[in-house]
Structure formats: C-alpha cells, structure tokens
Amino acid sequence: MHAPASILPLHIDGLSFEAGGALLLDNVSATLRPGLRTVILGPNGAGKSLLLRLCHGLLAPTGGALRWGAFCNGDEERVRRRQAMVFQRPVLLRRSALANITYALALRGVRPRARRVAEARAALERLGLAPLAERPARVLSGGEQQRLALARAWALSPDVLFLDEPTANLDPAASRAVEAAVEAIHAAGTKIVMTTHDLGQARRLADEILFLCGGRLLEQTPAATFFHAPRTPEAAAFLRGELVG
Ligand SMILES: Nc1ncnc2c1ncn2[C@@H]1O[C@H](COP(=O)(O)OP(=O)(O)OP(=O)(O)O)[C@@H](O)[C@H]1O
C-alpha cells in the first residue's frame, strides 16, 4: 500500500492579518517544503506565533491565502488531519498520559481500541515516557508534559508539525530532550516548522530560517547562510542582540 501523498508544500501567498486597525502580518509570501526544518525567528511581536496559527488554520487571514500541495484538491478535512501543533504551554486533557494519546487517535478514527493503545504506548516509548503511561497528564513536570504533547502529535504521523516556542518554559535538560524529540520526528519524515527565541536552538535545529520583523517577512534563507551572512540589516542587528521588539 502506498503512503498517502503529503499535503505539502504549503504556499503562503501574500498572507496578511489585521486586527484593531493594526496590520500585524503584512503580505507574507513563502513556500514551506517537506524535508526542511524551518525555524521562524524575529523580535518580540514580529508576528511569529500569528504566522504559525494562520498556517495551522487556527485563525483566518484577512488577506492573501494558503495553498496546500497539489494532491489536496481543496480537501480541507485532509489538510486539517495531516497537521499538528504543539504550543508553548501544552494543552493536555485531565486523563492519563496514555489516554491523552488514545483519545487523539480515536478522534482520528483509529480502530479498534487495542490498536489505539498499542500505538499510544509506542509513542510514549519513543519519547521515554513509557513508565509514566498511567500517570495523570497534569501532574507531570513541564518537560514531561511537553514531551507528551510531542508524543501525541507524533502518534498522528502528521505531514507537518507546527511548534510555537516549545521550550520557552523549560530548563536546559528538558529543552534538550524536546530538541531530541523534534529531531526524531523530523527524521521520521514530518516537516518541522517552529518558532524559538533561543538562537542556539535555532542553530542546532534549523535547515532554513524565516526572519520576521514588524509583521513582514524579511528573509527566507538557508540556516548556514542566515547565521553567517544575513541579507538584511534587521537580521544582522537581531543576531547581534541589538534589535528588540
Ligand atoms: N488574535 C489576535 N488579535 C489581535 N492581535 C493579535 C492577535 N494575536 C496576536 N496579536 C498581536 O500581534 C502581534 C504579533 O504577535 P505574535 O504573538 O505573533 O508575535 P511573536 O513574534 O510571536 O512575539 P513573541 O516573540 O513575543 O511571542 C502582537 O502585537 C500581538 O499582540
């Protein structure tokens, strides 16, 4: 059996978002291709989270459009089901770690229950969480909760995973565990699109950088080039720590 064709690439065509009379995202165009880890950088308030939320369909743009890959044929349900998002603060249900994943699999129509449990246990195992399977998700540490959110997203085998500052609240050890999980998810074939304020993390994880400033996309640049020789003065100032939101 062939794997279903990816919903990628995602073409972002002149995307804008206006609220309260302010243009918060201004005519952003980019193509997000499979395989590359895309890291979105920029100062506070640049519009990084907004761009992720628009791409994931949590917000509707006030201008422009998203076009998913050729095989989507306007199938919005398929586009929705083949992507996942992990937030700075993980959104977990008041259930066990295991049940958080089996519930997500049930919503995706995975049957029977025994298959959901087996897949959920495998997902926990991949992230080193198997011993915590029966523990209520909400009593897990912040780092464990974030890994659980990643395990749940990964269990759904998305074509693309959006991550909004996934290590913002974590200590260095927990951050490294999350980075290792992101690497493993990437290696398994899911496209990574993430925001971070941690430039070291961006250097470790990124294949390409989207640099946003004041709601405008100033660069879409291979990571090695961006950190070595950014094209715009704003990006150069940002890398020197001089450009703050
Ligand atoms: N749904 C919304 N309605 C109105 N304004 C919004 C909405 N979401 C975000 N904003 C505003 O848009 C601007 C960009 O916000 P966004 O969260 O995308 O920035 P960011 O680049 O992720 O910043 P940070 O690095 O501080 O998280 C901010 O001024 C924010 O207050």
Same domain, yes or no: 1 and 118: no
Cα gap 218→230, rounded to integer Å: 10
> Is there a domain that residue 137 lies in?
yes
pLDDT, tens digit, 9 for 90 and up, residues 103-124 = 999 999 999 999 999 999 999 9
pLDDT, tens digit, 9 for 90 and up, residues 31-69 = 999 999 999 999 999 999 999 999 999 999 999 999 999
> Is there a domain that residue 233 lies in?
yes
Q: Is 176 helix (H, G, I), strand (E, B) or coil?
A: helix
> Is there a domain that residue 163 lies in?
yes
In a 13 Å sphere around the CA of 124, the CA atoms on its Cβ side amount to: 23
Same domain, yes or no: 6 and 69: yes
Q: How confident is the model at residue 144 (pLDDT cuts 50, 70, 90)?
A: very high
> Is there a domain that residue 87 lies in?
no
Residue with the smallest CA separation from ligand 1 atom 9 is 50
Cα of 89 to ligand 1 centre, how many Å? 16
> Is there a domain that residue 88 lies in?
no
Same domain, yes or no: 138 and 98: yes
Same domain, yes or no: 62 and 163: yes
pLDDT of residue 238: 97
How many structural domains compose the chain? 2
Q: What is the ipTM of this complex?
A: 0.96
Q: What is the pTM of this model?
A: 0.95
Out of 109, 126, 157, pick the residue that ends a domain: 157
Lowest mean pLDDT segment, chosen from 2-11, 150-159, 192-201? 2-11
Cα gap 30→184, rounded to integer Å: 25
Q: 10 Å Cβ neighbour count for 107?
A: 10
Same domain, yes or no: 164 and 231: yes
> Is there a domain that residue 29 lies in?
yes
Same domain, yes or no: 41 and 133: no
Residue with the smallest CA separation from ligand 1 atom 4 is 19
DSSP 16-67: EEEETTEEEEEEEEEEE-TTPPEEEE-STTSSHHHHHHHHHTSS--SEEEEE
Q: Which atom of ligand 1 is nearest to the CA of 215?
A: 14
Out of 157, 174, 196, pick the residue that ends a domain: 157
Which residue ranges have their beta carbon within 6 Å of ligand 1? 19, 24, 42, 44-50
Q: State both tokens at 140.
A: 């897990």
Same domain, yes or no: 151 and 167: no
pLDDT of residue 74: 73
Q: Which domain holds residue 104?
A: 93-157
- The CATH code of the domain that includes 52 is 3.40.50.300
